[in-house]
């Protein structure tokens, strides 16, 4: 049975720069919102990605799947929620969703498979002990 850790929600305001000419959030920006939420979750777990990069280790995305439900629009307040599903010391999934805060409408859902990679050894390795301890 896999373990699940719930992350703190991340709030995002949709600016004009996030949208197309119709005021609808451009689809690639959902990936950015998901990334911000994952980074915030790691920071909350006391994981410094910049320190890991200096050590030659990086978090990499192996797969990502997104299901779009409805569009987010200019000036929406969005809530990005994330859960980490632990599968092994070297593999986990982030289950994420974006909701419109005012109506609780689900905008989209994502499932992101993350691995940890040692650039010096040129291969996947176990996640940082700090992260594993929290999962």
How many domains, in total, are found in the chain? 1
Q: What is the pLDDT of residues 71-109, one digit of tens each?
A: 999 999 999 999 999 888 888 999 999 999 989 899 999
Which CATH number characterizes residue 43's domain? Answer: 3.10.129.10
Q: What is the pLDDT of residues 23-58, one digit of tens each?
A: 999 999 999 999 999 999 999 999 999 999 999 999
| 20 catalytically annotated | yes
Catalytic residue among 20, 44, 46, 105: 20
What residue numbers bound the domain in which 85 lies? 3-134
pLDDT above 90: residue 3: no
Predicted local distance difference test score (pLDDT) of residue 88:
87
Q: How many beta carbons lie within 10 A of that of residue 57, not counting itself?
A: 20
Q: Which residues contact 53 (CB under 8 A, 6 or more apart)?
A: none
Q: Is the pTM of this model over 0.75?
A: yes
The answer for 112, left when phi > 0, alpha when psi is -120 to 50, beta otherwise, is beta
In whole angstroms, what is the distance from residue 130 CA to residue 110 CA?
25
């Amino acid at each position: 049975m896999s373990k699940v850790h719930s992350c703190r929600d991340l709030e995002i305001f949709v600016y004009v720069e996030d949208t197309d000419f119709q005021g609808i959030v451009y689809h690639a920006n959902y990936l950015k919102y998901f990334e911000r939420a994952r980074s915030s979750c790691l920071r909350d777990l006391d994981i410094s990605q910049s320190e890991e990069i200096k050590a030659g280790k990086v978090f990499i995305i192996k797969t990502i799947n997104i299901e779009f439900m409805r569009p987010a629009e200019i000036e929406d307040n969005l809530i990005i929620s994330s859960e980490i599903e632990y599968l092994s010391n070297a593999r986990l999934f982030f289950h994420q969703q974006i909701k419109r805060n005012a109506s609780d409408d689900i905008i989209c859902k994502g499932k992101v498979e993350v691995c940890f990679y040692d650039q010096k050894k040129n291969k996947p390795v176990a996640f940082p002990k700090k992260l594993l301890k929290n999962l």
